[in-house]
Amino acid sequence: MQTVKMVVTGPFSAGKTEFIRSVSEIDVVSTERRISSTAEKTVKEATTVAMDFGRITVDDDLVLYLFGTPGQKRFDFMWEILSEGMLGFIVMVDSTRPETFREARSILETFRAYAPTPYVVAANKQDMKEAWEPEDMRHALRLDPKVKFLPCVATDRDSVKSTLLELLYSILSEMESGEK
Amino acid sequence: MALRGNLRDFTITQLLNLINLAQKTGTLVVEGPTETAQVAFRDGKLAYAQVGQGVSGLAYILHKANKLSSGQFKAIQQRSNQISDKELGLLLINAGYLTQEDILTNLQQYFGDIVQRLFTWVEGFFHFENDILPPDDRISVRLDLENLIIEGSRQMREWEQLQDEIPSLDMALKFTDRPGTNLRNVNLSVEEWRVVSFINPRNTIKQIANATKMNDLEIRRIVYGLLQAGLVEICRLEGAAPIQQVRVFPTEDKEEQKSLVNRLISRIRSL
C-alpha cells in the first residue's frame, strides 16, 4: 500500500479540524482538549494539541493522509515533525479574525522554510458576514500574486474539495515545470 | 530562605517587583543562557549593573555613549590600575569635560539598558546576595524600579510578538524580488543600513546581529521592520547542510509520481 500525506496548518481556531473532517472517510482522529485559557475559550471550547488525522483511500494501492497541526504556538514543536515528507500544505486563515493574520503569515513562512513543497492559502469562514474580502486578506497577509489564495468554507465538502484540488494542480504543475 | 531559583518559575518582572516592594539591598546575580548579569540594589532602587566579566566601568560606559573618543578610552584603559571610577569622574568634571549630570545620566541609561535586557531572559538561574554592593570605587545611582518594570513589561510583550514573527535567528535573509523597488530611495536608519549591508542568504540573522553588535531584541526589531516593509524575506541559509530529504512520493519514477497525483485528483473530484 502506497501512502502520501498533506498537511493542513494555520492559527488557532482557523478551521483545520473541520476541514479534514469534511473529507475524511474515517472519523478524524483528533487530539482535542478542553481549553483552559479564558481568552482562547471565548473563541472555541476545545483545541488540537498534537494533531488531527484524516484519511482518503484513493484505490487499492494508494491512500492520502491529511494531518492537521495544532494551532497554538506552544505546540509548534509538532510542526516540523508533521511537515516531514508532505506532498504539499494548506494554510487555513480565519477570514473573520484579522488579529490572526500576522500569525498565519508567520506559520506560512515557517512551513515554507521546513520544506519547499507547493502550498495554497485558504480563506476560511467566507460564509460569515463579518468575513474579510479575499483580496483585502491577500494584501494583509502580504501574499505574492503567484500564491493561490482560495475562498473556503471548511464545513462545506465541495469547498474543501476545491481547495485540495487546487493544491494538487499546483503539485502537478510544479512537477511538469521541473521537467522542462 | 535565600532568594534563589529558576527564571522559568520566577520571572525577572516578579523578581524586580519583589526587590522593589521589600526595599531590598544586595546584588541579584542572573545566570542567563550565554552570560551572567550582576545587578545591585540599595533600598529597593537600582544602584549598579554589569553583564559578563569583560570590560566595564565608567570609561567603557562613557565611550559606549560616545562621550569619550577611542583614543581617550584607550589612554584611560592603560592607566586603569591607577585610577578608580570615582577619580575618573571627578577628573572629567574638574576638567570641564563633562558635568556630574552627564555622568549620572549615562550611568543610569547604561544600567537601565542592562536591566531591560534581562526581561528577555526566560531561561536561567538567579540568586540574590543580601547586603552585597559594588565596590566603593564604582559610582552607583539611585533609580526607581517602577518605570523599569513598566518599560520592561512592554518590551517583553514586544519581544513575544517579535519571536512569533521571527521564530529563529538561525535563518537567513534575502532581498525580495520586487521590480521597481530601489533601496536607495527607502529611508532607513543608520542601524537598518548596517543590517541591510549584511543581508545575504549566506548570513544567518544571528551572524548579522553579532557583526552589527545588536542583541536579539534589536536585530529582531529591525528585521521585523524590513519584513513588514516587504524589502526582505526570510530564507533558509545558503550552503547549510541540506535537510534530510524525506521521501514525499512512494516512488522515484517521475511518470509514476505524476500518475499518482492524477489518481489523487480523480479521487478528490469523485468525493
- For chain B, give the percent of residues with pLDDT over 70: 92
* B123 and B199 inside one domain: no
Q: What is the interface size between A and B, counted as CB pairs within 8 Å?
A: 75
Radius of gyration of chain B (CA): 25
Q: What is the pTM of this model?
A: 0.55
- Whether B23 contacts B144, CB under 8 Å: no
- Together in a domain, B124 and B53: yes
CATH number of the domain bearing residue A43: 3.40.50.300
Q: Do B193 and B148 fall into the same domain?
A: no
Question: What is the domain range of residue A153?
Answer: 2-179
Q: Is B195 exposed, middle or buried (0-12, 13-18, 19+ CB in 10 A)?
A: buried
How far is Cα of residue A166 from the mean position of the Cα atoms in its chain?
13
- Residue range B224-247, pLDDT digits in tens: 888 888 788 888 787 765 555 567
Distance CA B21, CA B15 (A): 10
For B257, the closest of A76, A84, A175 (CB atoms) is A175
Indicate if B154 and B29 belong to the same structural domain.
yes
- Residue B97 has what pLDDT? 87
Query: At residue B207, does pLDDT exceed 60?
Result: yes
Across the interface, whether the CB atoms of B251 and A2 are under 8 A apart is answered yes
Tell me the HSE value of B35 on the side-chain side, using a 13 A CA sphere: 12
| Torsion angle in degrees (nearest 10) through CA of A55, A57, A62, A65 | -10
User: Does B242 fall in a domain?
Assistant: no
Count of domains observed in chain B: 2
Q: Are residues B22 and B150 in the same domain?
A: yes
User: Which chain B residues touch A161 with a CB distance below 8 Å?
Assistant: 268-269, 271
Strand partners, B45: B42
**Is B264 a domain residue?**
no
Query: Mean per-residue pLDDT for B133-142?
Result: 87
Closest CA to B140 of B110, B113, B119, B98: B110
Q: B85 in a domain, yes or no?
A: yes
* CA distances from residue A44 to A9, A27, A47, B73 in whole angstroms, order as listed: 17, 20, 7, 60
For B53-75, what is each residue's pLDDT tens digit? 766 788 888 888 888 888 888 88
- Is B144 in the same domain as B209? no
Residues B93 and B120 in one domain: yes
How many domains does the structure of chain A reveal?
Answer: 1
Using one digit for the tens of pLDDT, what is the confidence trace for B69-104?
888 888 887 776 678 888 889 888 988 888 999 999
Task: State which residues form the domain around B101.
Answer: 4-159
pLDDT by residue (tens digit) across A2-21? 889 999 999 988 999 999 99
B40 contacts B26 by C-beta, under 8 angstroms: yes
Contact yes or no for A103 and B164 at CB 8 A: yes
> What pairing do the DSSP bridges indicate for beta strands B36-42 and B45-51?
antiparallel
